[in-house]
Structure 1
Amino acid sequence: MKVVGALVWLLLPLTARCVEPISMTVGAIVTGVITYYGVHWYSPDQCQLGGNINVTALQVDFEENIFGQHLAKRVILKAVPGFLENRNPKKPLALSFHGWTGTGKNYVSQILARHVYPEGLKSKHVHQFVATLHFPHADLIDVYKDQLQLWIRGNVSACERSIFIFDEVDKMQRGLIDAIKPFLDYYEHIGGVSYRRAIFIFLSNAGGEYISELALHFWKTGREREDIKLSDVEHHLALYAFNSNDGGLWHSSLIAKNLIDFFVPFLPMEFEHVKMCVRAEVRQRGFLEDEDLISTVAKEMTYYPKEEKIYSVKGCKTVSAKLQYHL
């Protein structure tokens, strides 16, 4: 069935393969591929938008909406514009975001996508995978690999400046992520298609514990979290992701072959950062900033460690719901 499904994909017009990944039972795969796809007619002008980015506007967006993540801001503001300006990159840009839930990994990827393509995640050139939604069944991993490769090839063939976001990589089936290894490598072309101008972003909770321990160590020794450097954590994150029993990067060739350009840590959120999240949410909803309300919502979050209570367990993830309750 896997082979038949792949053949069906190959027989489809190239633009017809540019679809969202489909997860279904083996018996429904071929039927689903035939009946559930959207033909994306791409405008060259739309695709060319992905070659430019307003660095100042991106920086302002980060300052207004992303809090406590100096490393993520620094890496993206340097790496992404530089990559987009390079007319002949040697390989695609691959970023791996690591940290506990609610620290801003998804939000940063959404902001970045929006500044490359105005429609953001709604753009036909920005593609998001969610491991537990699109690849839930371990016994279908070979099918997923075929679909993933064909789907990426179809979209990059239509627009070489495609952005691929893989969420919940720590919950992905082992070995699946290696299916995209050829697309991240230093090949000029694969089957007549160049992948060098694409962007791949991986989001994972893996390494969250190590990042939290590092941040706590800096706090206990009286050092500012802004003093944490990428060199302090990046190598450890790569090793953690590679050796962790949980997640799709376990013994992954993407790490073994050094194909991920940056391992970006997202630090745990302190009380003041949570307040910033609440304040930003209040502004976005058009309400006047009430400091008492902002502090009340921030205080209702759960903090750890048990004694010090420095970092929010859920980051800023439930801020919107708690604010709605009070409003």
Structure 2
Amino acid sequence: MDETNSCYEAPIPEHRISFVSSPLRAVIRMRRKMRTLKKSRLQLGLTGENSLESGQLGLPHRQLSNDKSSLFNSTSCKKPPFFTFDSPTLEQVELRNQRRKKKRRSSRPVLYPGNGKKYLPIEHKSKAKRCLLLLIGIICFQILNAIENLDDNLQKYDLEGLEKTMQREVFGQKLAIERIINLFKDYLATHYHNKPLVISLNGPSGVGKSHMGRLLAKHFRSVMDNDFVLQYYVMHNCPEDSKIETCQNELSGLISDTVTRAETEEKIPVFVLDEMELMSPVLLDVLKGYFEMNQSNEYLNAVYILISNLGGNEITKFVLQNASSDVLNVQQELHNIVLSSLRQHHSIWDVAEIVPFTLLEKSHIVNCFLDELLREGFYPDNSNIENLAGQLNYYIKEDKQYSITGCKQVVAKVNLLHTYM
């Protein structure tokens, strides 16, 4: 046979076949084959060769073809490539590993969710979240601190006491009192402003405008120093026969000196200017310069109360025409009417907060007499009070009586009682 063929097993003699069974013969063949494989493996390990060829072992080709029994026992048979026990090289090992990895990847089993308890992934807490919470806490603390500071400023001026005083001594002007208190609360809550507060009290004679100005001056003198409250009456401080330049210099000096001293002590001065309808246009221009926004800080922190009869006729007409209407629904319309009348007189009222004072009813006049009688020490007789109130003149409109002169004649009527006693 050719040497490239597989190992040839020598046939068992015919005289032995009859005495040995087929299973036993298969065992003998397998045992002989294993011996041959072991010998060939030992020989490869000693010589270091990769293959066993018959020419290297010194066995001629003819002897292999003639002596079949010796060929079976010899180790000259060639080993198939897939039965070799050569030590693999590094490249072969890498190829095998890559093939195994590919097989593992391709043969990965599909995992189905089991019936076990599921857990959500653990969330890692961020440090930025803590910083954000700290920043929010600081902002909230600053807001609370600012609110407390606003309350402290309002307590310093005692606006609650001022409101009670005005409600007790000023009759028939509930809406005007609420408007003035709200303006003071918004402005006096802080010491830094972008413009001064200008409040204009307008209405007919005898409705309580001047009395309101005196109450404001008295109150702020009690909560602050007397030097930070200035009352200016045009007929007294600047009569008609005086020089305008002198009045101008005097008014400018009073305002500048007051605001400068108030700024050093972080207080807001109050200027009460009465009889504004008699003030000359030159002085009005001087005042308007102090009401502007583009000036130094000390002039921005000030309160100006302008009291005048300007717009009184318009208020009287409006009240009489709307006597049956709800006053709350016509306040804005009344405000616009008064503002248009004031603008015709001078542009200084463009920056002012208009507070209209309406006509007083007969019940308000009765309260004025009662308060004045108690001040003068008279016994408050109701019949006497009604008699005194009936001596005044009234507008009669739809079962309502509005005083023509307001409470202006009340003091004179009560003083006449002293002459009869």
2:248 corresponds to 1:145:
yes
Which residue identity is paired with 1:130? Y
Match of 1:223 among 312, 320, 325: 325
Match of 1:163 among 270, 284, 305: 270
Q: Is the 8 A contact 2:204 2:359 kept in 1?
A: yes
Match of 2:175 among 71, 74, 99: 71
Within-5 A mapping of 1:216-295: 216-219=320-323, 222-225=324-327, 227-229=329-331, 231-243=332-344, 250-252=345-347, 254-255=348-349, 258-260=350-352, 262-295=353-386
> Percent identical across equivalent pairs?
27
In 2, Cα distance between the equivalents of 1:50 and 1:81? 7
In 1, Cα distance between the equivalents of 2:181 and 2:398? 36
Q: CA deviation at 1:306?
A: 10
Q: Is the 8 A contact 1:164 1:200 kept in 2?
A: yes
**Equivalent residue number for residue 302 of structure 2:** 198
Q: Is the 8 A contact 1:303 1:309 kept in 2?
A: no
Residues 76/56 of structure 1: CA separation in 2 closer, same or farther (3 Å cut)? same
Match of 1:58 among 159, 162, 173: 162
Residues 225/288 of structure 1: CA separation in 2 closer, same or farther (3 Å cut)? farther
Secondary structure of 2:231 counterpart? strand
Where structure 1 has 5 or more consecutive residues not aligned to the other structure, the ranges are: 1-47, 244-249
In 1, Cα distance between the equivalents of 2:223 and 2:213? 13
In 1, Cα distance between the equivalents of 2:299 and 2:186? 17
Per-residue CA shift, 1:75-134, capped at 9, x if unaligned?
1111112211122121111011111111111111222222322189x9222212222222
Residues 130/305 of structure 1: CA separation in 2 closer, same or farther (3 Å cut)? farther
**Equivalent residue number for residue 311 of structure 2:** 207
Q: CA deviation at 1:239?
A: 1.5
Q: Give the TM-score, by structure 2 length.
A: 0.57
2:286 corresponds to 1:179:
yes
Which residue identity is paired with 1:63? Q
Aligned-residue Cα RMSD (Å) equals: 2.7
Q: CA deviation at 1:316?
A: 0.3
Q: Is the 8 A contact 2:203 2:308 kept in 1?
A: yes
In 1, Cα distance between the equivalents of 2:365 and 2:182? 26
Secondary structure of 2:201 counterpart? strand
Q: Give the TM-score, by structure 1 length.
A: 0.72
2:209 corresponds to 1:105:
yes
Residues 281/227 of structure 1: CA separation in 2 closer, same or farther (3 Å cut)? farther
Corresponding residue pairs, total:
263
Secondary structure of 1:124 counterpart? helix
Which residue identity is paired with 1:165? V
Which residue identity is paired with 1:259? V
Residues 49/84 of structure 1: CA separation in 2 closer, same or farther (3 Å cut)? closer
Which residue identity is paired with 1:65? E
Per-residue CA shift, 1:222-253, capped at 9, x if unaligned?
22445542x2222221210121xxxxxx233x
Secondary structure of 1:310 counterpart? strand
Residues 283/138 of structure 1: CA separation in 2 closer, same or farther (3 Å cut)? closer
**Equivalent residue number for residue 413 of structure 2:** 322
Structure of greater Rg: 2
Within-5 A mapping of 1:292-303: 292-303=383-394
